[in-house]
């Protein structure tokens, strides 16, 4: 288990916030500005946080999902494919 336990975890300190699959998603100045844009979210500075993404869906579906992420509006959560960041670091050191 991760040395970086999450205080908001529902499973013994494990959480999306300490999983290798989570990434930050930033805004972009041109998001939602097009005349026919259906989605009007994520407009702003690239330094502004829009939400979080989970790369776990890249593990399924072959080449169709190799670049896919799942959007999350919260930093915290949990799934059965949680993989703590510190385990990845330990494996890279060995």
Query: What is the C-alpha separation between 92 and 34, in angstroms, rounded?
Result: 44
38, part of any domain: yes
Q: How confident is the model at residue 89 (pLDDT cuts 50, 70, 90)?
A: low
pLDDT of residue 63: 81
pTM of the model: 0.76
Residue the block writes with tokens 């949680």: 82
Higher pLDDT, 11 or 72: 72
82, part of any domain: yes
pLDDT of residue 2: 44
Residue the block writes with tokens 């579906």: 61
Strands of the 70-72 sheet, one edge to the other: 22-26, 49-54, 70-72
Is 54 strand, coil or helix?
strand
Helix residue ranges per DSSP H, the chain: 85-93
Structural domain of 31: 16-93
Counting the structural domains of the chain, the total is 1
9, part of any domain: no
4, part of any domain: no
Higher pLDDT, 3 or 26: 26
């Amino acid at each position: 288990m991760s040395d970086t336990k999450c205080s908001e975890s529902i499973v013994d300190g494990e959480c999306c916030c300490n999983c290798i699959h989570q990434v930050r998603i930033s805004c972009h100045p041109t998001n939602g500005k097009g005349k026919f844009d259906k989605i009007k979210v994520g407009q702003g500075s690239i330094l502004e946080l829009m939400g979080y993404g989970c790369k776990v869906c890249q593990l399924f579906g072959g080449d169709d999902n190799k670049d896919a992420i799942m959007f999350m509006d919260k930093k915290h959560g949990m799934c059965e494919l949680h993989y703590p960041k510190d385990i990845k670091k330990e494996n890279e050191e060995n």
